[in-house]
C-alpha cells in the first residue's frame, strides 16, 4: 500500500492547455545513441521506452532531429522523412499503451551537429561561431552562417516535424531550446552576432525561438487541437564569456510564459542549483523561474532528484512537475514501487550486469560503460 506521505507525487495535475496528467512524474529526455543507422527507431529503443513508460504521467523522448543538417548524436532518430513514419508510430504507441503521455522532442543541433552525420560537410549556425565543444578542433568545425531564407526553411522544418508527430500519434512535442543547440544559439549573444531581424538586440535574438513556437502552434491548430501538448525546454545560463545570463533568460521565459505553451521545462543538472556569480544568489534557478512563470503556464524542473523524498521536496516548493532521467534508467519501476509502498526497494545504482534486465540498448550501454558513468540528460 502506498505511503500516504507521497500522495502528492501521485496526484493528478492539469497542464495549462487543459490536459490532465495522471501524476507529477515526467520521464526526462535522454539520448539513446541507439536508433537504426538510417535514423529510424530501432527495436532496442522500443524496448527501452516500453520498459519505462508504465507509471510516469508523461514521457519526453530523446531528441529527434528535424533536419538533415541538425543531427548531433550518432544514431539519432529523425523526425522527418516518410521512411521514419512506421518507427515513430510504433514509438508513440509503445509509450501510450503503458499509460504515459508521449511527447516527441524536436531538435536541431546547429553548430553542435556532427560532421559525418549531416547532409553537408559543414554545420550551420546563426553567425558562424564555433561551438564550445569544438573550440580546439580544425577549421572544418567552423559553421557557416544561415541565410535568411534558410532560417525560414528551418522554422518550417519544426512545423513539418510537428505534423509528423501528430500524424503518428504522439500526444505532443517539446521544442528543444536548451543545451546550446540551434534555438539557444539564436538567443545567445555569444553565438548570435547578426544585425538583421534575427539578432542584434535582446528582443531580436528572441525572434527565432518565438517564430518556431508560432509555427508549431500553427501546425497544431491545423492538424490537431488544443489537447496536443506543446512544451519548450530552456537552459538558464551559459559558461562562455558574453554567453546567456540569468537576466536575459528571465526575459525570454517571461515572453515564453505568454505564448500559450502547455509547459516550460528547465534544463539543469541539479534542481536546486544556484545562479552563477553575479546573479541573484538568494533563490535557486528553479525558484526564480517558478516565480517568473507564476500561473501563466505549467513548469517542469529536474536534476539530481533521486528519491521520493527528493521529489516531494520539489513539489512542496511550488514546482508542479519533476523530471526523472538517470533515475529511471537505473530503476524503470520507480513509480510502480512508490505506488506499491515499496519505495525502499528503489534502485539507485547501476552495475555491469544490468543491461538486459533494464532493457538498455547496446549502443546506449556502450556509451554508459565508456563514460564510466551515466549519460547526461540531453
pLDDT, tens digit, for every residue of 46-83?
Answer: 999 999 999 999 999 999 999 999 999 999 999 999 99
- Classify burial at 37, counting beta carbons within 10 Å of its beta carbon; exposed 0-12, middle 13-18, buried 19 or more: exposed
Residues 243 and 279: beta-carbon distance below 8 Å: no
Residues 215 and 240: beta-carbon distance below 8 Å: no
The helix (H) or strand (E) run that includes residue 336 is: helix 334-339
Q: What is the pTM of this model?
A: 0.97
pLDDT of res. 126: 99
pLDDT of res. 212: 99
Give all domains of the chain, ordered by start, each with its CATH number: 4-371 (3.20.20.70)
pLDDT tops 70 at residue 363: yes
Which of 152, 164, 167, 145 is CA-nearest to residue 106? 164
* 140 or 341, higher pLDDT: 341
* 321 or 240, higher pLDDT: 321
pLDDT tops 80 at residue 155: yes
Q: Is the dihedral of CA 264, 269, 273, 276 positive or negative?
A: negative
pLDDT of res. 378: 58
pLDDT of res. 257: 99
The helix (H) or strand (E) run that includes residue 214 is: helix 207-223
| Non-local CB neighbours of 197 within 8 Å, separated by 6+ positions | 148, 204, 207
Mean pLDDT of the chain: 96
Which of 335, 355, 351, 352 is CA-nearest to residue 343? 335
pLDDT of res. 137: 81
Helix or strand or coil: residue 231? Answer: strand
Q: Residues 258, 260, 265, CA angle at the centre, nearest 5°?
A: 85
pLDDT of res. 370: 87
Percent share of the chain, pLDDT over 70: 97
How sure is the predictor about 279, in pLDDT bands with cuts at 50, 70 and 90? low
pLDDT tops 90 at residue 374: no
Alpha-carbon distance values, 311 to 235, 264, 317 (Å): 21, 18, 10
Q: What confidence tens digit (pLDDT) does each residue in 220-249 have?
A: 999 999 999 999 999 999 998 889 999 999
Helix or strand or coil: residue 228? Answer: coil
Q: What confidence tens digit (pLDDT) does each residue in 179-195 have?
A: 999 999 999 999 999 99
How sure is the predictor about 116, in pLDDT bands with cuts at 50, 70 and 90? confident
Residue 27 phi/psi, 5-degree rounding, is -80, 120
Residues 38 and 183: beta-carbon distance below 8 Å: no
How sure is the predictor about 121, in pLDDT bands with cuts at 50, 70 and 90? confident
Residue 11 phi/psi, 5-degree rounding, is -80, 145
Helix or strand or coil: residue 105? Answer: strand
Percent share of the chain, pLDDT over 90: 90
DSSP string, 179-203: TTSHHHHHH-TTT----STTSSSHH
181 catalytic residue (yes or no): yes
Question: Which entry of 181, 190, 232, 263 is annotated as an active-site residue?
Answer: 181
pLDDT of res. 265: 99
Cα–Cα distance measured from residue 92 to residue 172, given in angstroms and rounded to the nearest whole number: 10
Amino acid at each position: 500500500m502506498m505511503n500516504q506521505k507521497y500522495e502528492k507525487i501521485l496526484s493528478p495535475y492539469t497542464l495549462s492547455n487543459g490536459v490532465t496528467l495522471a501524476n507529477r512524474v515526467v520521464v526526462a529526455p535522454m539520448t539513446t545513441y541507439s536508433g537504426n543507422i538510417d535514423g529510424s527507431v530501432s527495436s532496442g529503443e522500443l524496448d527501452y521506452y516500453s520498459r519505462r513508460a508504465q507509471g510516469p504521467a508523461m514521457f519526453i523522448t530523446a531528441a529527434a532531429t528535424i533536419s538533415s543538417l541538425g543531427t548531433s548524436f550518432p544514431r539519432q532518430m529523425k523526425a522527418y522523412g516518410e521512411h521514419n513514419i512506421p518507427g515513430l508510430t510504433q514509438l508513440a504507441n509503445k509509450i501510450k499503451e503503458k499509460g504515459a503521455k508521449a511527447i516527441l522532442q524536436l531538435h536541431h543541433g546547429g553548430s553542435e551537429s556532427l560532421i559525418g552525420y549531416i547532409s553537408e560537410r559543414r554545420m550551420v549556425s546563426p553567425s558562424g561561431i564555433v561551438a564550445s565543444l569544438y573550440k580546439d578542433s580544425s577549421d572544418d568545425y567552423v559553421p557557416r552562417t544561415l541565410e535568411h531564407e534558410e532560417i525560414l526553411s528551418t522554422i518550417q522544418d519544426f512545423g513539418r516535424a510537428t505534423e509528423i508527430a501528430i500524424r503518428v500519434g504522439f500526444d505532443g512535442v517539446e521544442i528543444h531550446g536548451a543545451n546550446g543547440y540551434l534555438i539557444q544559439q539564436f538567443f545567445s549573444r555569444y553565438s548570435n552576432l547578426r544585425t538583421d531581424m534575427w539578432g542584434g538586440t535582446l528582443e531580436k535574438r528572441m525572434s527565432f525561438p518565438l517564430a518556431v513556437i508560432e509555427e508549431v502552434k500553427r501546425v497544431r491548430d491545423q492538424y490537431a487541437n488544443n489537447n496536443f501538448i506543446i512544451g519548450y525546454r530552456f537552459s538558464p545560463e551559459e559558461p562562455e564569456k558574453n554567453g546567456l545570463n540569468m537576466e536575459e533568460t528571465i526575459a525570454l521565459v517571461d515572453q515564453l510564459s505568454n505564448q500559450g505553451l502547455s509547459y516550460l521545462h528547465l534544463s539543469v543538472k541539479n534542481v536546486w542549483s544556484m545562479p552563477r556569480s553575479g546573479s541573484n544568489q538568494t533563490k535557486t534557478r528553479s525558484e526564480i523561474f517558478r516565480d517568473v512563470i507564476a500561473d501563466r503556464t505549467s513548469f517542469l524542473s529536474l536534476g539530481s532528484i533521486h528519491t521520493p523524498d527528493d521529489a516531494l521536496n520539489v513539489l512542496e516548493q511550488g514546482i508542479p512537475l519533476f523530471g526523472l532521467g538517470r533515475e529511471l534508467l537505473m530503476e524503470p519501476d520507480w513509480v510502480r514501487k512508490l505506488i506499491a509502498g515499496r519505495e525502499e526497494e528503489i534502485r539507485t545504482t547501476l552495475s555491469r550486469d544490468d543491461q538486459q534486465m533494464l532493457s538498455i540498448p547496446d549502443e546506449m550501454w556502450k556509451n554508459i560503460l565508456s563514460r564510466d558513468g551515466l549519460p547526461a540528460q540531453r
